[in-house]
Structure 1
């Protein structure tokens, strides 16, 4: 069992772009969301590889299932409910799902170049 409350949204606390994006998105959530930096999390207890945590935002569902990237956003939007369900549906439906995955990867790979990004935001190369 883990000490981290589930569900939880894990993000890179060293990345200004990531932090700003998540806090802006969740400024007034419909349902509370437990957010935590991956650096403050015992990733091993959640079965998460540190390299994965450095590469993408992660959503750990209440049953412990882990999703990342655009799929994690869809799972977060499902959790939030209400009008967020429209965004969830878009992120789960082709071709939007494919486009979202590609856009997420480009943004994640270049987050150190985004507003608020720093060298600490750079994603490690595979």
Structure 2
């Protein structure tokens, strides 16, 4: 595995790309990869999972998805972000964070920064590799 954590996102989604650009400004040492360009098997994940949620692959190889991935990203940053990440991981707030994340992910084609590609089914999006 990598000595740095890896953030894997949907490179065909404008909202996702804008969100990752924000994450790049956090003081976090990480690799950032669009899932369309990543060797997902090497990261112990699948295209189906990567289409469904953002992924955080820890140096240990553990894969976090969705709200848990965002929480891990924030926990890896400098203050005040780790506090937010820990709060998102707390049992009561984890439930809320997961629901909010799923709503955002399910509606990303309607959010600021979305592109027409966000509205296409995954197999019709630019950069989709058939058989991946």
Please, what TM-score do these two structures have when normalized by structure 1? 0.86
Q: 1:69 to 1:6 in 2, by over 3 A?
A: same
Which of 2, 6, 9 matches 2:7?
A: 9
Q: How far is the alpha carbon of 1:93 from its aligned partner?
A: 1.1
Tell me the distance in 1 between the aligned counterparts of 2:30 and 2:15. 19
Q: How far is the alpha carbon of 1:50 from its aligned partner?
A: 0.5
Matched residue SS, 1:80: coil
1:50 corresponding residue in structure 2 = 47
The yes-or-no answer on 1:22 pairing with 2:15 is: no
1:40 corresponding residue in structure 2 = 37
Aligned residues: 122
RMSD: 2.0
Alignment of 1:1-126 (within 5 A): 6-27=4-25, 29-122=26-119
Ranges in structure 2 where 5+ consecutive residues have no aligned partner: 123-132
CA deviation profile, 1:104-124 (whole Å, cap 9, x unmatched) = 001101111111113422486
Q: 1:102 to 1:123 in 2, by over 3 A?
A: farther
Q: How far is the alpha carbon of 1:5 from its aligned partner?
A: 6.1
Q: How far is the alpha carbon of 1:97 from its aligned partner?
A: 0.9
